[in-house]
Structures are given as structure tokens and as C-alpha cells.
């Protein structure tokens, strides 16, 4: 296992938003974190990235405890709905990450095609549409070299064709051995791109496994992820 999360608990004041969440992330897989709005998906990702303090829980990375101080060596988290460095151009933002992580300029070119960034390179981040901003953020995330990449709602704001392209890109990234942990609220998208799934409901991990394993857990012989989700929550 690349990462083992055990007993993750988080409260905001008196409200418990995560309760004893445990799951495993395997090397090179695309693991989906699914659940309804307010289930705690973003909170899980931010706790894993070390951006939010947890009340309880441990992280084990490649068999060793992963303290807060070493999180950013192991994983990178790409938040949803952020507008980083709004007055800078897309070209600058990509160049900043490429140089900071000592990636080759060709890597930007590799990403610019499938993410359709060529036309918006000179645009300021603040002026981008939701979809353009999402594609730019995805490029930033994919420019990082971390073995584990956490993506919050990577398909949110993308149209059908763009979603398909991004799925292909994520699968290709996974094929290089990189592990992706992706929070998705669109169950159809999750079923298409993820190798395994973690089902989160009301801050609790209700199931974990492949689509077939989840079907078994839900006592279903037929149906897709939507039916599984409804049966388990």
C-alpha cells in the first residue's frame, strides 16, 4: 500500500464532519472518493494534505508514519474552486510550477494539448472561465512530481468532451505509476475513471473496493454505481 489512512476524525467546533475514516490507497491506482455534497470529501483531502488539523487518525506512507512536516514530500493536493495568482497569466503559472519542480518545458507542451491550454496561455487567471480555470489547475497539479496526487472534483466545470480528455490524461498519468486520489460527486464519471472507490457518507466511510466488490457489499447483482450508492447510504 502506498498510503493507509486509519481513524481519521475531524470536528469543526461541536460538529463532527469526519468520523473514524479509514481506507487504503494502492500504488499506481486511481482511487475515487465519492459521496454526496457535504459528505466530507474535501475535508478528507485537506486533512491528508496537512492543510487542516485532524482530531484523530494516522497516516502511514509506504509502511512508515507520515508526519505533518513530511506530507508535502509525499503528496500534492489540488483544491477545487481556487483562483491562484489571479493577476498572472496562465503561461506564468505553468512556468512557475515547471521551474519550481525542475520539470522540462516539454512537460508543459505535453499537458497543453489534452487540456487545451494553448489558446489561453496569455490570459490572466482571473479572466478564465470555470472550465479553463479547472484545466489550468489540473495542469499545475500534473506538473508536480509527487508520487500521490489528490484532486478535488477534477471534472467539475468541464464539458463532456473535456471530461473525456481529462479522464484519458489521468489514466495515462496513472499508467506511469503515479497514484491519483480523486474526489468526485458525479458517480458516472467516477465509475469510468477509477480503479477502486471509497464511499463516504455523512463523514463516515461506508464502503471501499472495486465496482464489483461494492456491488457485493451492497448485495446487488445488477446496476451501476448509482444503485450501489443508494443501497449503501
Partner 1 sequence: MRSLSFVRLLAKDFRELLASRAFWLLLVFVGLLVGHGFITAVALYAEMSGAGGPAALPQGLTSLDGVLVPTWGAYDLAATLLFPFVAIRMVSSEKESGALKLLLQLPGTLAAKLTAKALVLLFAWLIAWVPGIAAILLWRSYGGHVYAPETLNLLLGHLLRGLLSGALGVAAAALAESAASAAIITLAFTVGTWALDFVAAGRGGFVQQLASYTPTAALRSFEQGLLRLNAVVVIVLVSCAAFAFAAIWLNSGRAIVERLLRVLLLVVIAAGAVWGGANLRATRDVSENRRNSFSVVDEAALRRIDQPLKITVLLSPEDPRLTDFEQNVLRKLRRALNKVTVEYAAGSRTGLFEGADEHYGEIWYELGGQKIVERSTIEEVVLEQIYKLANVDAPERSDDDAFPGYPLAAQPKYAAAIFYLFWPVLVIVTWWLSRR
Q: Pairing mode, if any, of strands 148-152 and 179-184? A: parallel
- Which own/partner contact pairs does 160-164 have at CB distance under 8 Å and 24+ positions apart? 162/116, 162/131, 162/135, 163/189
Count Cβ atoms within 10 A of the Cβ of residue 79 and give its class: 0-12 exposed, 13-18 middle, 19 or more buried. Answer: middle
In whole angstroms, how close is the CB of 140 to partner 1 at the nearest point? 7
In whole angstroms, how close is the CB of 157 to partner 1 at the nearest point? 15
User: Which of the residues 101 through 140 are near partner 1 (CB under 8 A)?
Assistant: 101-102, 140
In whole angstroms, how close is the CB of 52 to partner 1 at the nearest point? 7
Residue 199, SS3 per DSSP: strand
Q: Pairing mode, if any, of strands 75-78 and 148-152? A: parallel
User: Which of the residues 4 through 43 are near partner 1 (CB under 8 A)?
Assistant: none
The residue among 12 and 210 lying less far from partner 1, judged by its C-beta, is 12
The residue among 123 and 201 lying less far from partner 1, judged by its C-beta, is 123
Q: Report how far residue 126's alpha carbon sits from residue 116's, in angstroms, rounded to the nearest whole number.
A: 17
The residue among 83 and 172 lying less far from partner 1, judged by its C-beta, is 83
Find the binder of partner 1 among 1, 26, 36, 83 (CB under 8 A): 83
Query: How many residues line the site for partner 1 (CB under 8 A)?
Result: 27
Q: Pairing mode, if any, of strands 56-61 and 64-65? A: antiparallel
Task: Assess 100 for contact with partner 1 (CB under 8 A).
Answer: yes
Count Cβ atoms within 10 A of the Cβ of residue 102 and give its class: 0-12 exposed, 13-18 middle, 19 or more buried. Answer: exposed
User: Which of the residues 36 through 75 are near partner 1 (CB under 8 A)?
Assistant: 46, 49-53, 68, 71-72
The residue among 71 and 196 lying less far from partner 1, judged by its C-beta, is 71
The residue among 81 and 168 lying less far from partner 1, judged by its C-beta, is 81
Find the binder of partner 1 among 14, 87, 176, 221 (CB under 8 A): 87
Q: Which residues contact 115 (CB under 8 A, 6 or more apart)?
A: 135, 136, 138, 139, 165, 166, 169
210, three cell numbers = 472495486
The residue among 41 and 71 lying less far from partner 1, judged by its C-beta, is 71
For cell 472561465, the residue is 129
Task: Assess 160 for contact with partner 1 (CB under 8 A).
Answer: no
Query: Which residues are near partner 1 by CB under 8 A?
Result: 46, 49-53, 68, 71-72, 76-77, 79, 81-88, 92, 96, 99-102, 140
Amino acid at each position: 500500500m502506498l498510503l493507509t489512512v486509519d481513524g481519521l476524525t475531524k470536528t469543526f467546533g461541536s460538529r463532527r464532519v469526519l468520523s473514524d475514516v479509514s481506507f487504503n490507497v494502492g500504488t499506481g491506482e486511481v482511487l475515487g472518493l465519492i459521496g454526496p455534497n457535504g459528505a466530507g470529501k474535501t475535508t478528507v483531502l485537506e486533512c491528508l494534505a496537512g492543510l487542516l488539523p485532524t482530531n484523530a487518525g494516522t497516516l502511514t506512507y509506504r509502511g512508515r508514519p507520515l508526519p505533518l512536516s513530511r506530507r508535502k514530500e509525499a503528496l500534492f493536493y489540488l483544491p477545487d474552486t481556487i483562483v491562484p495568482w489571479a493577476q498572472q497569466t496562465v503561461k506564468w503559472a505553468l512556468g512557475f510550477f515547471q521551474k519550481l519542480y525542475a520539470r522540462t518545458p516539454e512537460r508543459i507542451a505535453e499537458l497543453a494539448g489534452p487540456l487545451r491550454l494553448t489558446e489561453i496561455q496569455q490570459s490572466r487567471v482571473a479572466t478564465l472561465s470555470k472550465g479553463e480555470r479547472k484545466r489550468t489547475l489540473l495542469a499545475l497539479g500534473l506538473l508536480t512530481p509527487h508520487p500521490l496526487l489528490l484532486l478535488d472534483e477534477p471534472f467539475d466545470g468541464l464539458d463532456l468532451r473535456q471530461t473525456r480528455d481529462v479522464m484519458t490524461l489521468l489514466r495515462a498519468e496513472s499508467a506511469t505509476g503515479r497514484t491519483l486520489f480523486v474526489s468526485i460527486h458525479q458517480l458516472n464519471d467516477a465509475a469510468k475513471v477509477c480503479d477502486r472507490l471509497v464511499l463516504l457518507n455523512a463523514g463516515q466511510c461506508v464502503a471501499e473496493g472495486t465496482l464489483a466488490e461494492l456491488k457485493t457489499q451492497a448485495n446487488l447483482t445488477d446496476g451501476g454505481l448509482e444503485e450501489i450508492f443508494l443501497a449503501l447510504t
